[in-house]
Structure formats: structure tokens, C-alpha cells
Amino acid sequence: MGERGARIHEVLEEISAVAFKIVGILMKAAPIGAFGAMAFTVGKYGAGSLADLATLVVTFYLTAIIFVVVILGLVGRLAGFSILRLIAYLRAELLLVLGTSSSESALPSLMAKMEQAGCPKTIVGLVVPMGYSFNLDGTNIYMTLAALFIAQAYDIHLSFGQQILLLGMAMLSSKGAAGVTGAGFITLAATLSILPTIPEAGIALILGVDRFMSECRSLTNFIGNAVATIVVARWEGVLNREDLARALSGQKAVPPRLSE
């Protein structure tokens, strides 16, 4: 586009520089914010609250691990692949998600690796972005456990019907909860605001440990989207099983042959 294109390119570069600078500031300030949140929780509810919060974090991590290994593992086995091999295949992306506490940072790499694993570009281009908005398994687990923890902290007894309602509301409100780090916490606050049984102010109880649970829910969401992509490709009958087996076994993709 000549000179006009050069000016547009220059403007986009400046915008990108500003955006990365803002992200850098947020990454540096995040530990300070987490420390302040924990200080608020301890100062208001006492040091004994740390033990209960630690139990919540451990319970959430165990629940997420069981979900990934058992539930997603069973889905993967029915689809013809091992969930553990898939996790090993995506280990670099999982480390990136762990470091940033957001699965969005690994979106381009996930799409590229899913194509290398035998999923057509059309399937990947539809399932992965859609899954980032609607297939948020980790966020759903987090919201349910956090709401139950707040209810127990306030000594509120929830009937079986109320627990089912809570689960349903978490499943509904978690759709579209993807965003920057901490978006799940905001979604939890919005969910509690429409559930009169559990006080909305109770989210202050888990403010100090939300940062520690953010990594786990992002990792769970990421793995769930990878599994969904392979499963949908298999349902549609377009999954290249040879490429999938080659990718999960750690072998490099075979370059296409040039026509003679």
C-alpha cells in the first residue's frame, strides 16, 4: 500500500508498544496486589483464616486434577488418545499459561500445535476460539467451590436443590468469562449478586488466594479446549490419526512431498 501502508504500520507498532508496556506494568504489580489482598484477608478475619483458605486452594487443585485425569482422560481414551501424552505435547504452552495465569497468552501456539496434531485448520479455527469463551471447565469448578466455601464460612446451609441451582448458575455465568487474569473472580462476584442465598460481600474472604487459583483454572481451561478440538475433529471424521500419534509420541511432523 506504499506510504499509506507504512503510516498505518507505524501506528500499529506504537499501539503494540504501549500495550506491551501496560502488560509489563501489570505483571510487575500483580505480586504487590496479591500481597495486599492476603494482608487484607488476614487483617480482617485473622491469621486462622489462612488454614481454611489453604484448604480451599488444595481442594480446588485436587478437584481440577481429578477432572483432567479422570473425566478428560476418559473422553480422550474414547477418542483414541492419551490425556497424559497430550499434556506432555503441550507442556511448553502449559508453562506459559502457568506463568501468565491466563490461557489467552498461549492461544496462537495452541492452534498451531492442534493443526500439527492432525486437526484441520477449519476445525481448529472454530473450536479453539469458541472454546475460549464457552468451554471453561476450570472456571466452572472454581466458581462452584468458591461459592460453597463462602456459604460454609457464613454458616449458610444449602439444600441439594440450592446446590444444583448454584451449579447451574456457575455453568451459565462461566460462559464468556474468558479474559485477563482475575476475570473468573469478577464473574464469581456477578454470579453471587444474583443468588440471594449467599452474600455477595463474601468474595472478600477468598480475595487473598484468588491469584493462586487463577493458574489452576487457566490450565484446566486450556487442557479442556485442546481435548475438545481433537474430539470434534474425530466426530467430523477429519482427524488425521497418523499426525496425532506422531505428535503425541514426540516425533516431528513429516514435511509434505513435492509433486514431481
9 & 79 share domain: no
171 & 75 share domain: yes
pLDDT at 180: 52
pLDDT at 118: 92
pLDDT at 41: 66
pLDDT at 179: 52
Could you give the CA distance from residue 112 to residue 201 in angstroms, rounded to a whole number?
42
Instruction: Name residue, grid cell 463462602.
Output: 150
DSSP state of 103: G
Cell of 234: 474425530
Total of domains in the chain: 2
Q: Is residue 23 assigned to a domain?
A: yes
pLDDT at 257: 41
pLDDT at 240: 92
pLDDT at 114: 94
Question: Are the C-beta atoms of 86 and 222 separated by less than 8 Å?
Answer: no
76 & 145 share domain: yes
Residues near 28 by Cβ (< 8 Å), separated by ≥ 6?
Answer: none
C-beta pairs of 215-218 under 8 Å, 24+ apart in sequence: 215/97, 215/98, 215/101, 216/60, 216/61, 216/64, 216/138, 216/142, 217/60, 217/64, 217/136, 217/138, 217/139, 217/141, 217/142, 217/184, 218/97, 218/98, 218/100, 218/101, 218/102, 218/103, 218/138, 218/181
10 & 112 share domain: no
143 & 27 share domain: no
Question: Are the C-beta atoms of 218 and 180 separated by less than 8 Å?
Answer: no
37 & 137 share domain: no
Instruction: Name residue, grid cell 500500500.
Output: 1
Q: Is residue 91 assigned to a domain?
A: yes
pLDDT at 234: 94
**Domain range spanning residue 241?**
48-248
163 & 86 share domain: yes
- The letter for the amino acid at 123 is I
How many other CB atoms sit within 10 Å of the CB of residue 173?
Answer: 19
pLDDT at 48: 66
Closest by alpha carbon to 142, among 219, 83, 251, 76? 219
Can you list the residues of the chain whose pLDDT is less than 70? 1, 20, 23-24, 26-28, 30-31, 33-34, 37-38, 41, 44-49, 174-186, 251-260
36 & 140 share domain: no
